[in-house]
Amino acid sequence: MSANLLYAQSGGVTSVINASAAGVIQAARAWPDRFGKVFAAHNGIIGALTEQLFDLSFEREQAIADLRHQPGGAFGSCRYDLEDIKTHRPYYERLIRVFSAHDIEYFFYNGGGGSMLTAQRLLQVSAQLGYPLRVIGIPKTIDNDLPETDTSPGFGSAAKYVAVSTREAAFDVASMAGTSTKVFILEVMGRSAGWLAAAGGLAESTPGELPLLLLFAERNFHEPAFLNAVQARINSHGYCVIVASEGLRDDKGSYPWADTGASVAVSLASLVRKRLGYRAHWSVADYLQRSARHIASSTDLDQAYACGSAGVRLAAEGADGLMVTLKRMTDVPYRWETASTALSSVADQECPVPDQYISQDGFGITELARRYLRPLIQGEAFPPFREGIPYYERLQLKRVETQLPAFKME
């Protein structure tokens, strides 16, 4: 009998992480001689530790296919990273015991850099214990900060949300600027990487169309330069649209906003009002940008699915300890294929926006950045709607009977 496969989601979810799940599940079902049952852990690694597993063999084919449309993590995710093997050995060993109790020899971990580190450590422990485990990483992060891959599933859709929202809001503020609001600020996610702020630059159909001002996590915030740049845009266009990384820092590299309890957008709006005397509107997109499946990039969606199914193909071919990656063949037209890299080369790495992607003044993106980013937001993949809202097919989520004593987490 073939061994079973366990799939788990990790960290902040995206609007297309369930498409990766669909890719894994459908590919594994297509290979019955290699894979037995497909299980999913409830709430990521925590479900694996506590033996809270779903048996996906009860799910209809259509329900699995429909995971492509549903935002969030269909099986639950978690913000919980295992520490190093020394500190957390009982946890790693518990995972192996759970796997053993359920004949799980394939573990698919769908997450970012921190999750890949956990995956790598788990592999080490299984080797030490002589347990025949194959571990495959499926990339996921809206932050786009995983190395060794052209992009990470989830980013393209969040980027498209930011580009479209910025474009639409720019047309709104342009029509009000004569007598009312002249400045609009959109705060986007990215604590240490400004990729989503960069995506604001895609709001233009041609460079210079809109008076955009991007604030990157990679650039120190310098108040006079910022105020001058805002004023220059108001002088030329009558208004200014700002897209700011939540991780924006000041000259000293610290977060001046953290103390206010508010946010970068609130602080910038107050600054513009106080120093320049302009009324400023602001928006904080927060979860909306990573759950907006209704405006997902079909390129991103296809990549998310492909990463899932490619991982299964790799495992079927005997691969192990790899994360699936995306490899860009050409920019225009955008051609890509899946590839893979060792978990160790991506574990806990970060990947900021490179200097050559940020314009000289620090407030825009370069042509090189556009060439890189534009393909990632191509194509619309609208979900099915019923009664005016997106329709999500519900899974049965049948629990697997537990075999082991309960595990007490600290």
* Range 372-391, binding a second copy (CB under 8 A): 374, 377-380, 382, 385-391
Instruction: List the alpha helices (DSSP H) in 71-154.
Output: 85-101, 113-129
For residue 389, what are the contacts with CB-CB under 8 A and spacing of at least 6? Answer: none
Please list every residue from 34 through 53 that binds a second copy, using CB under 8 A: 42-43, 46
The reply on whether position 56 binds a second copy by CB under 8 A is no
Please list every residue from 106 through 125 that binds a second copy, using CB under 8 A: none
Choose one: 54-62, 75-83, 229-237, 355-363; the region binding a second copy (CB under 8 A): 75-83
The reply on whether position 344 binds a second copy by CB under 8 A is no
DSSP-derived pairing of the beta strands 322-330 and 335-342: antiparallel
* Residue 84 annotated in active site: no
Q: Give SS3 for 390.
A: strand
DSSP-derived pairing of the beta strands 240-245 and 183-188: parallel
Cα–Cα distance, 247 to 272 (Å, whole number): 19
Choose one: 84-92, 94-102, 275-283, 397-405; the region binding a second copy (CB under 8 A): 275-283
Nearest to a second copy of 174, 319 (CB atom): 174
Cα–Cα distance, 181 to 382 (Å, whole number): 32
Cα→Cα distances 150→59, 95, 146, 326, Å: 33, 31, 9, 5
Nearest to a second copy of 202, 369 (CB atom): 202
The reply on whether position 172 binds a second copy by CB under 8 A is yes
Widest pairwise Cα distance in the chain = 73
Nearest to a second copy of 33, 387 (CB atom): 387
CB of 320 to a second copy, least distance (A): 28
Choose one: 68-76, 90-98, 131-139, 214-222; the region binding a second copy (CB under 8 A): 68-76
The reply on whether position 77 binds a second copy by CB under 8 A is yes
The reply on whether position 406 binds a second copy by CB under 8 A is no
CB of 286 to a second copy, least distance (A): 4
Instruction: Tell me if 145 sits within 8 A of 352, measured CB to CB.
Output: yes
283, 344, 345, 359: residue in contact with a second copy (rule CB under 8 A): 283
Nearest to a second copy of 2, 402 (CB atom): 402
The reply on whether position 335 binds a second copy by CB under 8 A is no
The reply on whether position 171 binds a second copy by CB under 8 A is yes
176, 225, 271, 319: residue in contact with a second copy (rule CB under 8 A): 176
CB of 76 to a second copy, least distance (A): 5
For residue 87, what are the contacts with CB-CB under 8 A and spacing of at least 6? Answer: none
Closest residue by Cα to residue 47 from 100, 104, 9, 96: 9
The reply on whether position 142 binds a second copy by CB under 8 A is no
The reply on whether position 72 binds a second copy by CB under 8 A is yes
Cα–Cα distance, 159 to 299 (Å, whole number): 12
Nearest to a second copy of 263, 366 (CB atom): 263
Among residues 55, 143, 300, 302, which one is catalytic? 143
The reply on whether position 200 binds a second copy by CB under 8 A is no
The reply on whether position 169 binds a second copy by CB under 8 A is yes
**Residue found by looking up tokens 């850099």 in the block:** 113
CB of 141 to a second copy, least distance (A): 14
Nearest to a second copy of 198, 292 (CB atom): 292
Cα→Cα distances 56→5, 16, 60, 305, 362, Å: 10, 19, 9, 17, 49
Cα dihedral value 127, 128, 132, 134, nearest 10: -30
DSSP-derived pairing of the beta strands 322-330 and 280-284: unpaired
List, by residue number, the catalytic residues. 143
